[in-house]
Amino acid sequence: MAWSAARYSGGDCPVDGAVGVKLPHIHTSRCTGCGWCVAACPPGVLSLQVVAWRKHAVLHDEQGCTGCSQCERRCPFGVITMVKTEKPDGRQA
């Protein structure tokens, strides 16, 4: 997916072309693997994976994430935090 204004999350003014984005950080040690966030994600870029006998949510496609925060809002356990990430040119958002 090409970088676009659809990924703008309010970090910078989009008018001058500076685009910031937030991505979900999943605190896997507290994730129950319930899957609510996976079901809530519109583009389907979250999935459940089993690591060391524990099932937890994983963002498997960062480029496909729109930064909509629906996963953060849907998680009943407050496991997901939206965090600013680097811009395409490498500067901090």
Residues found near ligand SF4 in the complex (CB under 6 A): 24, 26, 31-37, 40-43, 45-46, 56-57, 59, 65-71, 75, 77, 79-80
Least gap, CB of 29 to ligand SF4 (angstroms) = 11
DSSP states of 4-63 as a string? -GGG--SSS-TTTT----EEEEE-TTT-----HHHHH-TT--EEEEEETTEEEEEE--GG
Closest C-alpha among 26, 12, 13 to residue 59: 26
| Cβ closest to ligand SF4, residue 5 vs residue 15 | 5
| Cβ closest to ligand SF4, residue 19 vs residue 75 | 75
| Cβ closest to ligand SF4, residue 16 vs residue 76 | 76
